[in-house]
Amino acid sequence: MRRWPWLAIVLLATPALADPVTPPARLAYTQLRDPAQEAQARALMATLRCVVCQGQSIADSDASMAGDMRALVRSRIAAGERPEAIRTWLVARYGDYVTYDPPFGAATWPLWLAPIALLAVGAAVARSSFRRRAR
């Protein structure tokens, strides 16, 4: 019977223990010295999705994984790598989900065609509504 309070404490403390204790990567919160390189890095980071947060870009996310991805982007740009090559590498590593504009393919066609289908349904509903009012 005395196990229940300890079990509750352990279960409630688990999310606090999930946060990493390692310090953030060196370039996670530090800008590059060259303003042109930092602008390239920020432009690329704004187009990449955080794989932990799912709804935020790595530029906006406070997750440690997003910080690691920001540091990776900045370090590769500082080394002279082109943003498109970095994007290609990240997509190869994490999949199309990491980018906000996935390519049209077998797995992503609903993402591209759903807005068009919704517009067509909305136009049909509006048209039928206007026809009823005209009578």
Domain boundaries, the chain: 12-102, 104-135
User: Alpha carbon 52 to chain centroid distance?
Assistant: 8
According to CATH, the superfamily of the domain at 12-102 is Cytochrome C biogenesis protein (1.10.8.640)
Confidence at residue 110, expressed as pLDDT on a 0 to 100 scale: 84
Confidence at residue 17, expressed as pLDDT on a 0 to 100 scale: 62
Question: Alpha-carbon distance 38 to 100, whole Å?
Answer: 20
pTM over 0.75: no
Q: What is the mean pLDDT of residues 30-49?
A: 94
Q: Do the Cβ atoms of 87 and 101 come closer than 8 Å? A: no
Question: Alpha-carbon distance 53 to 97, whole Å?
Answer: 12
pLDDT-derived band at 40 (thresholds 50, 70, 90) equals very high
Question: Alpha-carbon distance 88 to 99, whole Å?
Answer: 10
Q: What is the mean pLDDT of the chain?
A: 86
Question: Alpha-carbon distance 14 to 65, whole Å?
Answer: 19
Question: Alpha-carbon distance 20 to 66, whole Å?
Answer: 13
Q: Do the Cβ atoms of 70 and 28 come closer than 8 Å? A: yes
